[in-house]
């Protein structure tokens, strides 16, 4: 059995019995078999000494029990690690950042406290999954639309606290950005509410998020300053219709104009999440095709060579799908306006109408609809991209660790990132995934993401290669002044070390807060590089 | 401690005797629909990801190449221990399921459901 650092077996046993008094025997998990369920299924250290593993797990049913857990942990100096739905796959799963922590599994706190159909918000507990919230809304026929990440079994709270993102309109797909009002339990066991929630009896907790004075909400995400027990989220009113249209531009050089115009449309709230692609290259994202590999075999091709390649393909160099939400008159007018603007700005721009649906779709229509996340409908279909297929039948993927680099919305930055990542793969002898026609993702409306999906295995040798690649990508991105939006605990210290402005002043500030707020350093030690004073000496 | 164990033991005996805790294939179907069908269902989105089937179904179609049904609910060969090992340990892209998600008794129900037509 793993033990928390510097805690004896006797102390741990008596802490566990105090946890059991708080939550009931049934909800303290301490057998090896039960604790193993908190392993990260996609761990990049699976089965190695460095794999992050829990010592036990405890599952409270309400906020009072969370308070009691925190007090016990403080008395015994036991690190605890809160999870909401614990489905943080590729970013650590349900496993703690520090081995030996006790996972506080909030899955049982699963009440939807409120969904307001007129003011368009929800207030939920941590264990409420996107499926749960969606079903609650469906059962009551409420006319609001969620914004969901690809896997629907995660939670608004867990996902947003790791800065997760979805697929609809700009203000909603940044999940932490769409929050309004947080309740959390401090390391000392006190309940705090942010925003106007600090006023007893307020009726604006989910309407106005600043309250008065500093807004401390940000301290609770990607960090370790408290255990969130309630959180409000702004929702979209159910749009009347959904319409898509695709724009193509002919030349390699046209990407610059395409990007600028798409930014104009997004920042004017005229389109939902745009989706870029490259018809000439047969796609924009994922494993480079043999054709792309051939194009890159003598090094990164010149612009002239790329233009020749595009002409030879006889297909447009780039595409973008725009997605419009709203009344039919409005979405059709927005698409018309977008076409006019592209026509005026890019010679040879062409257009194709896509889907047009009246919302909400019925359950029957949704069952066979492949675009659920675009409509705020939870699903798990994304796992098909990694599931065993004819190509991988001999060695199906066991997991992945995602690296999503944040870039400015500039064509040249996208090309530079594709090249830098492609070089990093090449240096380690890994077949390239990026190429001159790699396209960005637009989860965050104001930034681009160029992703790298690094495979993980239950085999130490292959994981060692994956770690080398991931780590090299982090370094290479930092050389270009790009940071990732989120990362696995295995790389959090490395990533945070890149935030080196003024001698890592940001991290030093966070450490001071940590020392003041959580003096014993019990909550999620090491999360995103924030270690308590007693463990700080060893950090990078 | 001893007292608790005896009482818990009695509780199990009593409810088992009353038939309340016997695994139920009907309950199993409800739990399966919630936790498994999004990946193992038969109805897939048209033109969707993967091979045009849900993740579990498409993986099992490739894995058994027609020798066994791709849809888990149509199988008649699944051993209870195998189902338990896969659900609690994960298998390739399918991750671990915790007891706060699917409890031990709900897993028994799923097993009763998936093995209902076993030979
Ligand atoms: C194939 C695939 C596709 C994916 N697609 C997306 C996507 O489209 N968008 C996206 O955002 N992610 C995506 N992910 C990543 C991840 O699976 C989701 O973000 C998922 O929602 C996170 O898990 P969760 O919601 O259960 O959060 P949890 O695991 O519950 O929480 C995540 C972390 O937040 C902290 N935390 C959670 N709850 C609390 C609390 N109450 N108090 C304090 N701290 C807390 C903890 O550190 C915890 O480890 C994808 C993963 C895979 C494998």
Instruction: Give the A:B interface size as CB pairs under 8 Å.
Output: 112
Question: What's domain A9-108's architecture?
Answer: 2-Layer Sandwich (3.30)
User: Is pLDDT larger for residue A333 or for residue B4?
Assistant: A333
Q: Which of A369, A379, A389 sits opposite B51 (nearest CB)?
A: A389
pLDDT for B2 equals: 38
Instruction: Name all residues whose Cβ lies below 6 A of ligand 1.
Output: A 82-92, 106, 126, 149-151, 154-155, 157-159, 161-162, 164-165, 227-228, 382-383, 386, 524, 527
- Cα gap B10→B31, rounded to integer Å: 27
What does the block give as tokens for A349? 């721009």
Residue nearest to atom 39 of ligand 1 (CA): A83
**What per-residue string of b and e applies to A388-407 under the rule 16 or more CB within 10 Å gives b?**
bbeeeeeebbbbbbbbbbbb
Which CA distances in Å does A513 have to A225, A417, A509, A516, A522?
Answer: 8, 35, 6, 5, 14
DSSP state letter for A150: S
The CA-to-CA distance between both ends of chain B, in Å, stands at 43
B9 reaches A (C-beta below 8 A): no
| Domains with residue ranges and CATH for chain B | 23-118 (1.10.760.10)
**Greatest Cα pair distance in chain B:** 59
CB contact under 8 A, A388 and B93: yes
| Domains of chain A by residue range | 9-108, 112-237, 499-535
pLDDT for B17 equals: 44
CA of B101 to the centre of ligand 1 (A): 15
CATH assignment of A499-535?
1.10.45.10
DSSP state letter for A198: G
Please state, rounded to an integer, the average pLDDT across all residues of chain A.
96
pLDDT for B47 equals: 76
3-state class (DSSP) for residue B12? helix
Chain A CB contacts of B54 below 8 Å: 380-381, 384
Chain B CB contacts of A41 below 8 Å: 90, 95-96
* pLDDT tens sequence across A291-347: 888 999 999 999 999 999 999 999 999 999 999 999 999 999 999 999 999 999 999
* pLDDT tens sequence across B90-115: 999 999 999 999 999 999 999 999 99
pLDDT band per the 50, 70, 90 thresholds, residue A520:
very high
Element (H, E) at A309: helix A303-313
* pLDDT tens sequence across B12-55: 444 444 445 799 999 999 999 999 999 999 988 887 776 779 99
pLDDT for A346 equals: 97
Q: Which of A37, A93, A398 sits opposite B88 (nearest CB)?
A: A37
Q: Which ipTM value was assigned to this complex?
A: 0.96
pLDDT for B49 equals: 75
Task: Give one DSSP letter per residue of A384-435, joined into a string.
Answer: GGTS--TTTTTS---EEEEEEEEE-S-HHHHHHHHHHHHHHHHHTTPPP---
**Alpha carbon of residue A391 to chain centroid:** 28
pLDDT for B7 equals: 41
pLDDT for B16 equals: 43
Q: Give chain A's count of helices (H) and strands (E).
A: 15, 17
Query: Please, which residues have CB within 8 angstroms of residue A532's CB and are 6 or more apart in sequence?
Result: A514, A515, A518, A520, A521, A522, A525
Question: What's the fold here for domain A112-237?
Answer: 3.30.465
């Amino acid at each position: 059995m793993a033990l928390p650092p510097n805690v004896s077996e006797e102390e741990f046993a008596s802490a566990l019995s105090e946890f059991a008094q708080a939550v009931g025997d049934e909800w303290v998990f301490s057998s090896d078999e039960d604790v193993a369920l908190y392993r990260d299924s996609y761990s990049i250290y699976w089965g190695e000494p460095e794999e992050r593993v829990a010592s036990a797990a405890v599952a409270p049913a309400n906020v009072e029990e969370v308070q009691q857990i925190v007090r016990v942990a403080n008395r015994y100096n036991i690190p605890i690690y809160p999870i909401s739905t614990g489905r943080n796959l590729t970013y650590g799963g349900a496993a703690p950042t520090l081995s030996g922590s006790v996972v506080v599994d909030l899955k049982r706190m699963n009440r939807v406290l409120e969904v307001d159909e007129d003011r368009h918000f929800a207030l939920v507990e941590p264990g409420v999954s996107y499926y749960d919230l969606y079903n609650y809304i469906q059962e009551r026929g409420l006319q609001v639309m969620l914004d969901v990440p690809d896997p629907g079994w995660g939670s608004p709270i867990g996902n947003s606290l790791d800065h997760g993102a979805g697929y609809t309109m700009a203000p909603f797909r940044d999940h932490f950005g769409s929050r309004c009002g947080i309740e959390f339990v401090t390391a000392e066991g006190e309940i705090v509410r942010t925003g106007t929630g600090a006023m007893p009896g307020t009726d604006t907790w989910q309407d106005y998020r600043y309250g008065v004075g500093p807004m401390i909400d940000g301290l609770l995400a990607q960090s370790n300053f408290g255990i969130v027990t309630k959180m409000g989220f702004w929702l979209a009113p159910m749009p009347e219709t959904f319409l898509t249209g695709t724009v193509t531009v002919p030349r390699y050089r046209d990407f610059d104009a395409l990007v600028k115009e798409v930014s104009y449309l997004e920042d004017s709230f005229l389109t939902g999440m745009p989706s870029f692609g490259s018809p000439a290259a047969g796609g924009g994202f994922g494993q480079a095709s043999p054709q792309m590999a051939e194009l890159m075999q003598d090094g990164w091709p010149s612009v002239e060579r790329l233009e020749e390649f595009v002409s030879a393909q006889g297909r447009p160099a780039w595409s973008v799908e725009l997605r419009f939400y709203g009344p039919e008159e409005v979405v059709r007018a927005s698409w018309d306006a977008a076409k006019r603007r592209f026509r005026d700005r890019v010679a040879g721009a062409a257009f194709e109408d896509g889907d047009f649906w009246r919302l909400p779709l019925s359950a029957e229509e949704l069952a066979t609809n492949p675009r659920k996340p675009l409509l705020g409908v939870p699903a798990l279909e994304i796992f098909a991209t990694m599931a065993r297929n004819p190509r991988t039948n001999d060695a199906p993927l066991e997991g992945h660790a995602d690296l999503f680099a944040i870039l400015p919305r500039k064509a040249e930055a996208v090309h530079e990132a594709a090249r830098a990542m492609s070089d990093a793969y090449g240096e380690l002898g890994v077949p390239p995934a990026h190429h001159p026609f790699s396209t960005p993702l637009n989860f965050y409306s104001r930034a681009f993401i160029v992703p790298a999906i690094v495979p993980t295995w239950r085999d130490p040798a292959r994981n060692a290669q994956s770690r080398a690649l991931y780590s090299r990508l982090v370094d290479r991105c930092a050389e270009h002044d790009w940071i990732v939006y989120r990362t696995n605990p295995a790389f959090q210290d490395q990533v945070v070390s890149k935030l080196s402005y003024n001698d890592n002043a940001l991290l030093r500030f966070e450490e001071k807060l940590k020392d003041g707020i959580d003096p014993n350093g019990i909550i999620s030690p090491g999360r995103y590089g924030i270690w308590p004073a007693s463990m700080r000496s060893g950090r990078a | 401690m001893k007292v608790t164990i005896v009482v818990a033991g009695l509780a199990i005996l009593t409810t088992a005797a009353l038939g309340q805790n016997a695994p139920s294939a009907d309950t199993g179907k409800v739990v399966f629909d919630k936790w498994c069908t999004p990946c193992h269902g038969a109805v897939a989105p048209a033109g969707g990801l993967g091979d045009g089937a849900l993740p579990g179904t498409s993986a099992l179609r490739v894995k058994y190449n027609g020798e066994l049904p791709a849809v888990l609910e149509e199988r008649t060969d699944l051993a209870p221990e195998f189902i338990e090992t896969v659900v609690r340990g994960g298998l390739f892209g399918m991750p671990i399921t915790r007891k706060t998600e699917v409890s031990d008794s709900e897993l028994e129900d799923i097993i009763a459901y998936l093995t209902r037509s076993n030979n």
